[in-house]
RNA sequence: GCGGACGUGGCGAAACUGGUAGACGCAAGGGACUUAAAAUCCCUCGAUGGCAACGUCGUGCGGGUUCGAGUCCCGCCGUCCGCACCA
């Protein structure tokens, strides 16, 4: 019996060094074996990894190691999402250069990742802030510009007047800038846009083909893209009432069936007709200004009352020239959806109903639910948007909604106003173009020059990359590029005249929209990709990351891949064939008497029977054990991966991250759980070290047939092998681990009592060797260091990281006798053991002879006996 | 408001396409070893009745389909997530 403990502190760095020296995780593009590309979302170099990274990268590493053992040429790279605001904030706070800060962080985090024992190909490492990377991004910007996929236009943005920059919607909290706390203004700025909406239809349709994506993510993207079919309808205007004799107003509707329920028209405050009407109407001007001031804050939008202002303009109903409708400007109409104008049908739209109830415009129900008497169907406070038949609608009466929509469309397509059809079918999308301009220093420069004579001029390809200047000042808010003394001044590439550089940089989501493609040929100095290499590796077979990127990053990447295809850099549409979104790492919180939080490292927990009590280590002050929350600095409930790896080793951390909870759900980090994983590490080592001296040499042939004990052991080993393989294929790490616990329990029995068995019985010992070798190889993807150590102890000279996955012998999965549960009337009463080959009639006789069955049947004859092969017997009495 | 997911012991959870509910882990309790502790090993562990054999109940609640439902269907309740004035 070996009493030596396994010491990960000594063993883990030793194996990491050896793997590195032998370069066994380096991947060659020329490898002829079938490919497998596994990728985890690359980290932002904040300076330290957190437990979420440990979980994410462990999962990817298990897949990589498993697929490698299965004979695939595995691409498993890592890089850094290295541009972004935190580097600039650090520069402002600590007077460090963003570049130095970023590269220091990269070095620190790389060391941490390496201590996890990840099987990464570090030769392909990239950082998005490297000019060798962003050079190609700039080139693609120009490619896209040429292909008509980039546009420069005015748009409304969230402007932080203190930091003097545009903020993304998610950076605006309660109407204030997340950093400065200043009220955010709505500004019109000229911005660069990627025309993602060009691909709306395709991005939506292709979701159906992404079968290895979570339904949840696909649903979220579907909703985000937001396709709706409707009708563009041109209403004639009474020119006597319009400011400049305007003759028509175009609206978009998805409910043309409710046209006879119309009570008013409404314009967005940003609509040109609203502006025209306001020109000589100060009250309307004031109303519009008030609407625009409300801005983008969600809370305000939620609580804002529906408000409108009658412009005095009158529109004519398309089916009845004598029927006119008032045209309002209303605060709830968005300019950038549809045409920025609607017709209001209050009976069947809650917003319109709220509106008319405020202004006393009344309503007419035009859709009556089935089974309701139309005569008594009245709408007061709740609009009806369900199914039904048309009423109060002249020629549409009695039709279904679908039929009425079609009838209206057909009639209005035929009708004319001016010389054009009154209506036209249109598909609308919620998805807007992607504004990528940021007034920031630490980002990829947009390769454009503005010339006073030539206008907007692309930077010539030979002048790429447009490098960020290093000599910048962060003493003031705003964009340092814009106030740099020399950088932006440049000669126009076309006329040679005075010109200035674009000082905006790209949204950092652009950087992460193509890194997965760059990994396929990261050394390429000439082009973003080698299309041959990219097409060979892509799509990523398994992408793993957090659900928080369900829309933005994943949608942008899908767009970017299509745009890269247009520009000839790749030949595919979809970047990620398989997507897995892992859950968060959560931990209890500890609250001190003064309301502040204590960190797990500062408290000690005592179990007092059923109850648990927490006290501060430093002075024994009791602390309250609070709710379980996502690990965060503010709640101070974080656990530092460095500490865990230093005291337990990477294998323990990896194992714990995978056990207990299903990988897509949150996992609760507990000290007890880590202890359990640690115990298991030691247990495996003890078992292997104890058994190894008694096992025959590696490669001893198997002659187990006929040997009861050896056959049984082999069957368990192969059953475990089959189950674990299946679980890993489906990323069910927690169930794979449960099977391994059970298997180790079995091997414990083998070693415990009948240890003489292994020593004296060569057939049994050979089976035990096989079982141990299977165990070590099954454990290897999850605990690679321990597995190497055990592999050596078993007398193997190679690396288990390079050993092939064991092969299942199908014969060993088939039981000779099977134990069937026996039910009477659906309730389990007994078990019965029958030979595998038993006929149903034999089983039935044996079952009916059971005491428990007779008792349950109370002496009566059975009405029916159902035998489900291999599964169950149910006697119906 | 719209959309989606989920609800199983003290806790995290398992249960393939309807077929033994609670595998495995954690916690808890008991035992062995030890002067003692740690470590390790063994046993018990859904509720309830019974000395026991054994029985009854049990997968959020109420119905239904089925020989058989955690799983399928209908209606509720609750939790979480996403989107949100999208016409």
Å from the A745 CA to the B86 C1': 58
Report whether A579 contacts A543 (CB < 8 A).
yes
Å from the A747 CA to the B52 C1': 35
Å from the A659 CA to the B70 C1': 22
Q: Is residue A112 helix, strand or coil?
A: helix
Mean residue pLDDT across chain A: 89
- Residue A302, φ and ψ in degrees, nearest 5: -60, -40
Å from the A212 CA to the B3 C1': 21
> Span A547-565, mean pLDDT?
91
What whole-number percentage of chain A has pLDDT above 90?
Answer: 57
Å from the A472 CA to the B76 C1': 64
CA distance A174 to A157: 16
Nucleotide B87's nearest residue (CA vs C1') is A253
Q: What is the pLDDT of residue A2?
A: 43
| Per-residue pLDDT tens over the stretch A193-236 | 999 999 999 999 999 889 899 888 988 898 889 888 899 999 99
Å from the A731 CA to the B69 C1': 28
- Evaluate if residue A865 carries a pLDDT over 70: yes
Nucleotide nearest to A331 (CA to C1'): B85
Nucleotide nearest to A726 (CA to C1'): B16
Å from the A732 CA to the B15 C1': 14
Nucleotide B68's nearest residue (CA vs C1') is A826
Of A696-705, A728-737, A819-828, give the lowest mean pLDDT range.
A696-705
- CA A489, chain centre distance (Å): 41
Å from the A679 CA to the B14 C1': 22
Å from the A587 CA to the B7 C1': 22
Å from the A658 CA to the B25 C1': 12
Nucleotide nearest to A266 (CA to C1'): B87
CA distance A397 to A827: 58
Q: Is residue A831 helix, strand or coil?
A: strand
Nucleotide B12's nearest residue (CA vs C1') is A660
> Span A59-67, mean pLDDT?
97
Q: Complex ipTM, two decimals?
A: 0.94
Q: What is the pLDDT of residue A297?
A: 44
Strands across the sheet with A150-160, in order? A165-167, A150-160, A185-194, A434-435
Q: What is the pLDDT of residue A35?
A: 97
Nucleotide nearest to A680 (CA to C1'): B25
DSSP codes of every residue in A631-690: --TTTT----HHHHHHHH-HHHHHHHHHSSS-TTS-EE--HHHHHHHHHHHHHHHHHHHH
Q: How many CA atoms lie within 13 A of A10 on its CB side?
A: 4
Nucleotide nearest to A335 (CA to C1'): B86
CA distance A843 to A849: 10
Q: Which residue is associated with the tokens 């530092």? A: A640
Å from the A37 CA to the B71 C1': 35
Nucleotide B23's nearest residue (CA vs C1') is A738
Nucleotide nearest to A752 (CA to C1'): B41
Å from the A869 CA to the B20 C1': 15
- Evaluate if residue A419 carries a pLDDT over 80: yes
The DSSP call for residue A236 is E
- Evaluate if residue A790 carries a pLDDT over 90: yes
Distances (CA, A) of A174 to A157, A171, A296, A298: 16, 10, 9, 7
Nucleotide nearest to A677 (CA to C1'): B25
**Could you tell me the pTM of the whole model?**
0.92
Nucleotide nearest to A429 (CA to C1'): B86
Structure-derived torsion over alpha carbons of residues A568, A570, A573, A579, reported in degrees to the nearest 10 = -160
Å from the A606 CA to the B50 C1': 38
CA distance A766 to A702: 6
Of A317-331, A354-368, A452-466, A563-577, give the lowest mean pLDDT range.
A354-368
Of A13-17, A428-432, A639-643, give the lowest mean pLDDT range.
A428-432
Chain B bases under 7 Å from protein CB? 1, 3-5, 11-16, 19-21, 23-29, 39-42, 54-56, 67-69, 81-87
Nucleotide nearest to A341 (CA to C1'): B87
Nucleotide B69's nearest residue (CA vs C1') is A826
Report whether A824 contacts A853 (CB < 8 A).
yes
Give the list of residues 6+ apart from residue A231 with CB closer than 8 angstroms, or none: A252, A253, A254, A256, A405, A408, A409, A412, A423, A424, A425, A426
Nucleotide B5's nearest residue (CA vs C1') is A216
Nucleotide B6's nearest residue (CA vs C1') is A665
What whole-number percentage of chain A has pLDDT above 70?
Answer: 96
Nucleotide nearest to A432 (CA to C1'): B86
- Evaluate if residue A437 carries a pLDDT over 50: yes
The DSSP call for residue A445 is B
The pLDDT confidence band at residue A610, using thresholds 50, 70 and 90, is low
> Span A475-490, mean pLDDT?
88
Å from the A661 CA to the B8 C1': 15
Core vs surface per residue A847-873: b (16+ CB within 10 A) or e: bbebeebeebbeeeebeebebeeeeeb
Nucleotide nearest to A428 (CA to C1'): B86
Nucleotide B24's nearest residue (CA vs C1') is A738
| Per-residue pLDDT tens over the stretch A344-392 | 999 999 889 989 988 989 899 999 887 788 888 888 888 888 888 899 9
| Per-residue pLDDT tens over the stretch A309-348 | 999 999 999 999 999 999 999 988 988 888 999 999 999 9
């Amino acid at each position: 019996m070996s009493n030596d403990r396994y010491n990960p502190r000594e063993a883990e760095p030793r194996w990491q060094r050896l793997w590195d020296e032998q370069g066994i995780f380096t991947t060659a593009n020329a490898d002829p074996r079938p490919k497998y590309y596994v990728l985890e979302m690359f980290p932002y170099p904040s300076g330290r990894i957190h437990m979420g990274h440990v979980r994410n990268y462990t999962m990817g590493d298990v897949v990589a190691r498993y697929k490698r053992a299965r004979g695939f040429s595995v691409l498993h790279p890592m890089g850094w999402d290295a541009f972004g605001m935190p580097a600039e904030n650090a520069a402002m706070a600590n007077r460090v250069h963003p570049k130095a800060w970023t590269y220091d962080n990269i070095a620190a985090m790389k060391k941490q990742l390496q201590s996890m024992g990840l099987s990464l190909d570090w030769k392909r490492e990239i950082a998005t802030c490297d000019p060798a990377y962003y050079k190609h991004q700039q080139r693609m910007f120009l490619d896209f510009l040429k292909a008509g996929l980039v546009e420069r236009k005015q748009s409304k943005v969230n402007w932080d007047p203190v930091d003097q920059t545009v903020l993304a919607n998610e950076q605006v909290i309660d109407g204030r800038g997340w950093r400065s706390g200043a009220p955010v203004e709505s500004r019109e700025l000229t911005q660069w846009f990627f025309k993602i909406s060009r691909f709306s239809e395709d991005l939506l349709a292709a979701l159906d083909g992404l079968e290895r994506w979570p339904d949840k993510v696909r649903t979220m993207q579907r909703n985000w893209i937001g396709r709706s079919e409707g009708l563009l309808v041109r209403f004639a205007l009474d020119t006597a009432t319009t400011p400049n004799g305007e003759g028509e107003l175009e609206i978009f509707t998805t409910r043309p069936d409710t046209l006879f329920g119309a009570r008013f028209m409404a314009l967005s405050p940003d609509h040109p007709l609203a502006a025209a009407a306001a020109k000589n109407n100060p009250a309307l001007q004031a109303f519009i200004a008030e609407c625009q001031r409300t801005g983008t804050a969600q809370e305000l939008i939620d609580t804002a009352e529906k408000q409108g202002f009658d412009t005095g303009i009158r529109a004519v109903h398309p089916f009845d020239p004598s029927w006119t409708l008032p045209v309002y400007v209303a605060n709830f109409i968005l300019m950038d959806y549809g045409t920025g104008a609607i017709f209001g049908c209050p009976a069947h739209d809650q917003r319109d109903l709220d509106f008319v109830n405020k202004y006393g415009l009344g309503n007419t129900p035009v859709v009556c639910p089935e089974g309701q008497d139309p005569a008594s169907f009245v709408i007061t406070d709740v609009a009806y948007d369900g199914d039904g038949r048309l009423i109060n609608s002249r020629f549409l009466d009695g039709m279904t909604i679908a039929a009425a929509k079609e009838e209206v469309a057909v009639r209005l397509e035929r009708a004319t106003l001016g010389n054009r059809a009154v209506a036209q079918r249109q598909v609308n999308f919620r998805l807007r173009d992607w504004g990528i301009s940021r007034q920031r220093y630490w980002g990829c420069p947009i390769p454009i020059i503005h010339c006073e004579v030539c206008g907007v001029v692309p930077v010539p390809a030979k002048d790429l990359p447009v490098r960020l200047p290093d000599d910048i000042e962060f003493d003031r808010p705003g964009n340092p590029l814009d106030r740099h003394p020399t950088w932006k001044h440049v000669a126009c590439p076309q006329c040679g005249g005075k010109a200035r550089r674009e000082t905006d940089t790209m949204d950092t989501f652009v950087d992460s929209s193509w890194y997965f493609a760059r990994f396929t040929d990261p050394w390429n100095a000439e082009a973003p990709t080698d299309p041959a290499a990219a097409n060979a590796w892509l799509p990523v077979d398994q992408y793993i990351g957090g659900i928080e990127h369900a829309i933005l990053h994943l949608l942008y990447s899908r767009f970017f891949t299509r745009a890269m295809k247009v520009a000839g850099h790749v030949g595919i549409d979809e970047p990620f064939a398989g997507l897995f979104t892992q859950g968060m790492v959560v931990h209890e919180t500890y609250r001190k008497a003064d309301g502040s939080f204590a960190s797990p490292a500062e408290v000690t927990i005592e179990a007092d029977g059923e109850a648990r009590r927490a006290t501060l280590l430093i002075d024994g002050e009791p602390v309250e054990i609070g709710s379980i929350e996502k690990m965060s600095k503010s709640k101070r409930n974080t656990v530092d991966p460095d500490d865990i790896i230093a005291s337990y080793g990477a294998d323990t951390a990896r194992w714990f991250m995978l056990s207990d909870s299903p990988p897509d759900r949150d996992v609760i980090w507990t000290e007890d759980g880590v202890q359990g994983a640690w115990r298991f590490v030691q247990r495996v080592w003890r078992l292997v070290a104890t058994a190894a001296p008694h096992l025959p040499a590696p490669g001893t042939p198997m002659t187990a047939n006929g040997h009861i004990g050896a056959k049984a052991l082999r069957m368990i080993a192969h059953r475990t092998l089959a189950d674990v393989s299946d679980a890993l294929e489906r990323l069910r790490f927690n169930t794979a681990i449960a099977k391994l616990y059970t298997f180790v329990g079995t091997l414990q029995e083998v070693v415990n009592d009948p240890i003489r068995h292994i020593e004296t019985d060569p057939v049994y010992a050979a089976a035990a060797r096989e079982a141990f070798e299977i165990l070590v190889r099954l454990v290897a993807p999850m605990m690679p260091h321990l597995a190497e150590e055990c592999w050596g102890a078993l007398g193997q000279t190679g690396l288990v990281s390079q050993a092939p996955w064991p092969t299942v012998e199908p014969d060993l999965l088939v039981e000779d006798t099977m134990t069937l549960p026996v039910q009477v009337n659906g309730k389990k009463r007994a078990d019965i053991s029958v030979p595998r080959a038993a006929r149903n009639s034999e089983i039935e006789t044996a079952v009916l002879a059971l005491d428990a069955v007779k008792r349950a049947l109370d002496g009566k004859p059975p009405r029916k006996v159902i035998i489900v092969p291999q599964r169950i017997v149910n006697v119906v009495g």
